Structure 1
Amino acid sequence: MIGAPVDVPGATIEPAARARAETLRLPLDARRARRGGPAAVAARQRARLAALVDHARTRSPFYRQLYAGLPERVEDPALLPVTGKAALMGRFDDWITDPAVTLERVQAFVADPALIGRPFPGAHATYAVATTSGTTGTRGLFLLDDHALRVASAIGARLLSSWLRPVALPRLLAGRGRVALVVATGGHFASAAAAARLGATHTDTAGGAAGGGRTRVFDVATPLPELVAQLNAFQPAVLAPYATTAALLATEQRAGRLRIRPALVALAAEGLPDGEPARIAAAFGSTVGNSYAATECPFLSYGCREGWLHVNADWTILEPVDADHQPVPPGQPAHTVLVTNLANRIQPILRYDLGDSVLQRPDPCSCGNPLPAIQVHGRTADLLTFPTPSGGTITLTPLTLSTRLDRLPGIALFQIEDHTDRTAAAPATHARRRSRADLEGRTPRAGRSARHQRAAARHRSPRQPRPAACDRRQVPARPATGALNRLKPTHSRLGHGRRRG
């Protein structure tokens, strides 16, 4: 029955038959929710929220304490207190609902590069591990259970059915369904973890691929000429890069160096200036799909042909609020947004302050999708352009640099700024020397071509401006792109930090 309570498994071993049945049931339920309209979606929200709250205060000491005194059954999120990354990470062992999972064990796990993409063992189940960079001031360590990954797969089918049209079928067939994920592979990112569950193979920066699967992961830090050569050899039917990487690849496609014919370019992670999605679509002659998500909830929303993002409200509760966490009416920009992930039970995310500014559409979207529609004002990333010694330029995505810093110990927060001055660098600590050496020496080709630019590390915390449109990514000192001049590391209690995937 539509709207009936959903049996969501916790952190226990599920029989294979039950897992297969759920894999089949979830996409069907997602379709029924959309066809049933707002009433069907709201009914699912209420039932799933009540089940999640009950699970959280039964299994999590943190939530048991936080929710003391609440009604026995909670179907209205407004009854719940607001949570945030700093408070939850500070009580990590009490937050987790599997007592075998501890902060110490997870830290040791993510510190070993050999374990990237592998499941983390709990008491009776295994989990995918994802991390965030701490652009809001606190690094995050997040686990996803199998149920959450299956929900993400079901929502992925919803995205593809919305973005792809019958006219794309010839390209899908020509590409034999091959999917290229151009993501950060140097840490335990949500994208890498999900790719591992899909059986994806990884292509290293030397051009070799581990296996021949239809889904392949390409490292975003690969020098652009090598990445272009790898994609030309792979010929994907679906290209799924970070948004700024897609912008660079579109330029390569227009120049004739990249020669692929994807049926779909699925953007993720970052915002782009107006007009860039259309330029990318024209370069590849394909549909461009956009999405807005977070490590805390990787299936938040997906874009429509009218340029709006539709919230997957049957599995997510998204609350635009003001600075006092009071509701903001549709049509007005929010100061921040509270997110509830209704699928993941190992690490419950309930009324979580994500820090992004959104605007909810006050009327039904003209595309016909009944799910709530939003615009996101708080996610942008600039391309970084460096002059080369030969008089030319080279353009990098911020992730190309930041993913390398994420791998270095001793750096908790960093910031990429555009400066034109020539301020002398401060005396280097070990962490600053490592970050400078890594950017100038280890970043293949692109880093060496920009070596004459100064990476001057400053031992103070990065600036954290909080305008109405809160940027959870790199904060440029100026709106224009420019050379990297300053990196500002601080020391970390968590050791290795990783970017959001």
Structure 2
Amino acid sequence: MTQDNAPSSMSWLGPDIRRARKQGADGLARRQQARLADAVARARTKSPYYRDLYRGLPRRVDDPTLLPVTDKRRLMERFDDWATDRDVTYDKVRSFVDDPERIGDKFLGRYMVATTSGTSGRRGLFVLDDRYMDIGAALTSQALATWLGPSGMLRAAARGGRFAQLVAVGGHYVGFAGNRRAAREGGWRNKILRAFSVHTPLPELVAQLNAYRPAVIIGYTSTVMLLTAEREAGRLTIDPVLVQPAGETMTTADTDRIAAAFGGHTVVRTVYGATECTYLSHSCAEGWYHVNSDWAVVEPVEADYRPTPPGQYSHTVLVTNVANRVQPFLRYDLGDSVLLNPDPCRCGSPLPAIRVQGRAGDILTFPGLSGDEVRISPLALSTLFDRTPGVDLFQVEQTAPSTLRVRLRLAEGAAPDLVWRSVESELKVLSADNKLAEFTIERAAEPPEQSSGGKFRTVIPSPEH
């Protein structure tokens, strides 16, 4: 076992998080600078990629603006040089994630592996150490305590403390892999946390949640919005203490609708993060996302990476995760447009506050066999491609009510016809499971298309909806 991931006591973590918030902006800044300097020093010592990238920088760097920018494409191209553990290679990780039986296992006996397409549609293979996972869990626990307060925590406990986690299954996605890992390791988390697949047809998902009666629901925004409509229609009868949508951008109207549907005693809070930094931020009652700046750095920037003034939406955002040591994400271009609050948040939190414009969670609507409309989360489509070997970049466009046009860019060495047969088979299963009416799948000759802003929108609903 490497020193970077050796087990150690994390008992100091919770008290330190609470102490940092009591100390305010100065205490948060001191921790951020010290942890950034440590992360940079470790990366340039143990990662050949960062050693080359940081050549010529000062010996100690605690100012993120001195660092060059990285992104998913550059890191994936230098995968074997990026990791600080020299046993971590692209071939080993890819072989691991291509085996569905290994979901939830520890890669090399010591790491969790997660895959994602994110906003760009380009597959990412990310290796996460236990330190990162422990820090993320502690920050989430702190957010839960803040959101619910003592009375809310007691109400959740009175309902068995059951968590329903709405996750993409069938692949090494961070939520599902973490849930499978907890199930195999046992312990208290396994007893109160149950995963529900976002691929499950909506009537079945509603029945499963009604039977489980969770105190807390955590899941992708688009799936939560589908469940909100079911609650409004009276088919979903649960009364959770907390609903926490995540993974896709929300409006105030969305959160207000969820709160109204589930009743006055349900708290609705959201998170903004990514597999690259799951614990990045948590929302407050004022609708802002508060960045956990003791463990992360967020920089709203223009296209040339100059800082965007507070109060204005940025071209993109650079994120630094100072917790993950095996694959450092330092000044990483996440691709979203964010706005930094120029004023102290009225909720009283000393953490920096942002709003997010990126990552829309559009729901696709198809005609059903019985003449009704069937709505499907975009995640149910995008994760299908994430788990299909040979797909480097994908784009799915609903060109007609029952037609999907699929654009693919394949990984080097992939067999086009074999990959297409896998994709076509998966889409047909999705159609059958959701009882769709006519369903046409078009194999596009053209590659995925960029928007005018240079991004790839992975799932494009029909403009009629």
Q: Residue 339 of structure 1 contacts residue 351 of structure 1 at CA under 8 Å; is this kept in 2?
A: yes
SS at the partner of 1:417?
strand
Which 10-residue stretch deviates more, 254-263 or 100-109? 254-263
Q: 1:245 to 1:134 in 2, by over 3 A?
A: closer
Cα deviation, 1:56-75, whole Å, max 9, x if unaligned, reads: 01111111111111111111
Q: Residue 151 of structure 1 contacts residue 343 of structure 1 at CA under 8 Å; is this kept in 2?
A: yes
Q: Partners in 1 of 2:146 and 2:287 — Cα distance?
A: 13
Q: Residue 83 of structure 2 contacts residue 326 of structure 2 at CA under 8 Å; is this kept in 1?
A: yes
Q: Partners in 2 of 1:353 and 1:178 — Cα distance?
A: 36
Q: Residue 366 of structure 2 contacts residue 402 of structure 2 at CA under 8 Å; is this kept in 1?
A: no
Consecutive unaligned residues in structure 1, runs of 5 or more: 1-8, 203-210, 482-501
Q: Partners in 1 of 2:202 and 2:406 — Cα distance?
A: 32
Q: Partners in 1 of 2:452 and 2:175 — Cα distance?
A: 27
SS at the partner of 2:365?
strand
Q: 1:354 to 1:458 in 2, by over 3 A?
A: same
User: Given the alignment of the two structures, is residue 189 of structure 1 paired with residue 182 of structure 2, yes or no?
Assistant: no
User: Given the alignment of the two structures, is residue 445 of structure 1 paired with residue 438 of structure 2, yes or no?
Assistant: no
Q: Partners in 1 of 2:192 and 2:147 — Cα distance?
A: 20
SS at the partner of 1:371?
coil
Which of 69, 85, 93 aligns to 1:106? It is 93
Deviation at 1:278, TM superposition (A): 1.2
User: Given the alignment of the two structures, is residue 159 of structure 1 paired with residue 143 of structure 2, yes or no?
Assistant: yes
Which 10-residue stretch deviates more, 84-93 or 409-418? 409-418
User: Given the alignment of the two structures, is residue 243 of structure 1 paired with residue 221 of structure 2, yes or no?
Assistant: yes
SS at the partner of 2:87?
coil
Q: Partners in 2 of 1:92 and 1:235 — Cα distance?
A: 43
Q: 1:226 to 1:212 in 2, by over 3 A?
A: farther
Q: 1:70 to 1:382 in 2, by over 3 A?
A: same
Counterpart for residue 11 of structure 1: 4
Deviation at 1:275, TM superposition (A): 1.2
SS at the partner of 2:41?
helix
Deviation at 1:111, TM superposition (A): 0.5
Q: Partners in 1 of 2:74 and 2:394 — Cα distance?
A: 21
Q: Residue 440 of structure 1 contacts residue 451 of structure 1 at CA under 8 Å; is this kept in 2?
A: no
Q: Partners in 2 of 1:270 and 1:471 — Cα distance?
A: 16
Counterpart for residue 35 of structure 1: 22
Count matched residues. 452
User: Letter of the aligned partner of 2:196 in structure 1?
Assistant: F
Counterpart for residue 443 of structure 2: 457
Identity %: 49
Q: Partners in 2 of 1:409 and 1:65 — Cα distance?
A: 31
TM-score between both structures, scaled by the size of structure 2: 0.91
SS at the partner of 2:339?
strand
Deviation at 1:91, TM superposition (A): 0.9
Counterpart for residue 435 of structure 1: 423
Cα deviation, 1:451-489, whole Å, max 9, x if unaligned, reads: 403221213221221549x686534463x53xxxxxxxx
Cα deviation, 1:225-268, whole Å, max 9, x if unaligned, reads: 11112112211111111111111111112222222121101111
CA RMSD of aligned residues (A): 2.6
User: Letter of the aligned partner of 1:460 in structure 2?
Assistant: E
Counterpart for residue 260 of structure 1: 238
1:90-489 correspondence to structure 2 within 5 Å: 90-121=77-108, 126-133=110-117, 135-136=119-120, 138-169=122-153, 171-199=155-183, 213-285=191-263, 286-420=266-400, 429-446=417-434, 449-467=435-453, 474-476=459-461, 478=463, 481=465
Deviation at 1:119, TM superposition (A): 1.1
User: Given the alignment of the two structures, is residue 60 of structure 1 paired with residue 84 of structure 2, yes or no?
Assistant: no
Cα deviation, 1:108-128, whole Å, max 9, x if unaligned, reads: 000000111111116xxx111
Q: Residue 201 of structure 1 contacts residue 217 of structure 1 at CA under 8 Å; is this kept in 2?
A: no
More strand by percentage:
2
Consecutive unaligned residues in structure 2, runs of 5 or more: 408-415
SS at the partner of 1:455?
strand
Q: 1:270 to 1:82 in 2, by over 3 A?
A: same
Counterpart for residue 412 of structure 2: none
